[in-house]
Structure 1
Amino acid sequence: MTKTSRLRSRAALGVAVATALAVTSACSTGNEPTPSAGGATSAGNAKCVVGMTQINQTAAFFTQMNEGAQQAAKDAGCELTIANANNDSSKQNSDIENFVTQGVTGLIVVAIDVNGVLPAVKAARDKGIKVVAIDAKLEDGSVETFVGVDNEKAGAQAAQWMIDKGLASGKSYGVVDAKNSFIQNQREDSFRKAIDAAGAKYTQSVSGDNVQEKAATAAQNLVTAQPGLDFIYTTGEPATVGAVSAIGADAKTKIIGWDLTKEVISGIDSGSVTAVVQQDPKTEGVEAVKELKSILGGAAPKGFIDVPITIVTKENVEPYRAIFP
């Protein structure tokens, strides 16, 4: 072989090697990390892009839940988008459908209607999307994990607290609730069952539809129609805030309800609020994102993550003032 022939052979070999390397680089094995804004993955970690459908953005309970989820997403390297259903269950279903179209890998559902949301949730899971529910428990098997309070049990706990304090037997009461909220119906039913069995006298329930202004009007209508009530049981933040605005500090009627706010703490200070069932919405948001991150990484779902309640009174309200300045 001449010197010229040897040079031509080496050049051809170099081209062949370069071509082979280029082909190998272009072919994905499926194991390479895929970058994503806010949800970039590394080897061994699944892409974490989470859509969260929230009931509304006005109640402090929900905004604190959002804050927890946002912080957890930042810490976990997940991309999080929150959609506000604004108390509209049909919009909530549309929000879930939009998240599926956008290609999220995880979904957090704070359900308005626990039955009405199921078709949209099922459609999401059929696409391989992992779903965690917060606050409102969905049908068994419909999601990977539920994060929150056992609302039925907590309603009974609130009643038992009153029974133990001697505030039930012979006392008359009414309820400010939200008939459009499954979990608030649970809180009411279990509370009434226990308190009535202890000798309390139920009068009527009025619905504020989980909207503070409506709840305030409903509470005012209740105390106008039933001026001699010993207490009002309120099943959620808007109802409790509404009742505080409707009842003066010197009124005979007292409030036993759910969810602290600045206004409700003022009610505790003035004596119009006797006790409040306080959840930990921020922790619920944190735990939901952490659970999705874990599931997307291959861990088995926990099924239920219990976030305990605290019954807040004058005796233990002080630490909560910093949360509701």
Structure 2
Amino acid sequence: MNRKHATRSRGRVIGTAAASLCLLLAVTACGTTSENSGKGQGKATAAKCDGPGGKYVIGMSQANVAEPYRQRMDDDIRAAAAKVPQFEVKFADAAQDNAKQVSDVENFLTQQVNLLIISPNEATPLTAVVKKAYDKGIPVLVLDRKVDGDAYTSFIGADNKDIGRQAGRYVAEQLLPNGGNLVELKGLPGSTPAQERSDGFHETLGSKVRTVATGVGDWLREKGQQQLDAILKANPEIDVVYSHNDPMAEGAYLAAKAAGRESKIKFIGIDALPIPSGGVKAVEQGRISATFTYPTGGKEAIAAAKTLLVDCKHVEKKQTLPTQLITKENAERVYREANG
């Protein structure tokens, strides 16, 4: 090979390598937001963002709407989405059925929604289908209740373990400083708020307070009433009922009232919905001693969806919402401020 031909050959090799490098860089540059930033956005979030000129269908998979809290969550999502002209939200109610919620999400995937919002009925049974959506490049916002692992775009919710700790301290320091007997009414066992609200509560409850019975009310008022009705018959001395949400606390109050024991028992709940039938009014009117605010995350979810789909930006992997202790002293003010 003569020197001139060798020079041309080396030039072609270098040119080919340079072209390959440019192609590689171009492909890398077209990677998704998550691939380039490590923010966990899903595989095709950036590619599916058409900006302000796009139209987007959002699927909202709700665990159930029998709980007032969950109906309020849907209402908050609906109200926030109405302010974003690019959004259409489709709602599905799983009615506390894991298999139905899996099917609801599968239907949303078939419909090729642009983003999925889900409040899982229970963590483990919903993990695989949430991961399936996420792996397909659909941004997934998980509200209130968690799934296993981290195959989702963002979790939005309050710190349930911290709420439990606050409730435990309130009982130990304010209601039963000298000790006493307690009943715990738990939410749906496979849901993360039930697990975390119980774990946090017992971390701070102390040794003076004795848990004499537990019941599972599945977050529902009538089941909370049924559970405490049975517990009252077996336990003549109960000082406090710690309920994982306000509807179960209200149900427990009704059971105690039917037994003529409501004046001897203090009731604590969680959610503090600022509606006439909600926990804030129950505290103000004296049926419940205390509750804790637990934001639905509905407006925050739509804000995150707008950031992802319209603004073409990333969102944080976790957004922790604030909570507040509600007692007789501040219930009226909190209710007034929440309703303008």
Q: Could you tell me the TM-score, scaled by structure 1's length?
A: 0.79
Residue in 2 that maps onto 1:310:
324
Alpha-carbon separation, structure 2, partners of 1:200 and 1:265:
26
Alpha-carbon separation, structure 1, partners of 2:219 and 2:235:
22
Please point out which of 302, 308, 331 is paired with 1:289. 302
Would the aligned equivalents of 2:271 and 2:295 in 1 still touch at CA under 8 Å? no
Would the aligned equivalents of 1:163 and 1:198 in 2 still touch at CA under 8 Å? no
Please point out which of 46, 51, 56 is paired with 2:59. 51
Please point out which of 155, 171, 186 is paired with 2:180. 171
Instruction: State the secondary structure of the residue aligned to 1:274.
Output: coil
Residue in 2 that maps onto 1:10:
none
CA distance change for structure 1 residues 67 and 172 in 2, over 3 Å: closer, same or farther?
A: same
Structure 2: 5+ residue stretches without partners: 1-48
Q: How many residues align?
A: 281
Instruction: Spell out the pairing of 1:101-112 with structure 2 (5 A cutoff).
Output: 101-112=110-121
* Residue 183 of structure 1, CA deviation: 1.3
Residue in 2 that maps onto 1:148:
157
Q: Please state if 1:298 is matched with 2:307.
A: no
Q: Please state if 1:210 is matched with 2:219.
A: yes
Residue in 1 that maps onto 2:290:
275
Instruction: Spell out the pairing of 1:1-325 with structure 2 (5 A cutoff).
Output: 46-77=54-85, 78-165=87-174, 167-178=176-187, 179-195=189-205, 197-248=206-257, 250-260=262-272, 262=277, 264-265=279-280, 267-269=282-284, 271-281=286-296, 284-296=297-309, 297-321=311-335
Q: CA RMSD in A?
A: 2.3
CA distance change for structure 1 residues 211 and 291 in 2, over 3 Å: closer, same or farther?
A: same
More deviation in 240-249 or 85-94? 240-249
* Residue 140 of structure 1, CA deviation: 4.3
Amino acid at match of 2:263: A
* Residue 212 of structure 1, CA deviation: 2.2
Instruction: State the secondary structure of the residue aligned to 1:141.
Output: coil
Would the aligned equivalents of 1:180 and 1:209 in 2 still touch at CA under 8 Å? no
Alpha-carbon separation, structure 2, partners of 1:250 and 1:177:
20
Alpha-carbon separation, structure 2, partners of 1:226 and 1:272:
21
Instruction: State the secondary structure of the residue aligned to 2:124.
Output: coil
* Residue 314 of structure 1, CA deviation: 0.7
Alpha-carbon separation, structure 1, partners of 2:79 and 2:97:
26
1:182-211 alpha-carbon deviations (Å, 9 max, x no partner):
31121012102320x252111121111223
Alpha-carbon separation, structure 2, partners of 1:142 and 1:291:
17
Percent identity over the alignment is 28
Instruction: State the secondary structure of the residue aligned to 1:133.
Output: strand
Instruction: Look at both structures and tell me which one has the larger radius of gyration over its CA atoms.
Output: 1
Alpha-carbon separation, structure 1, partners of 2:300 and 2:104:
22
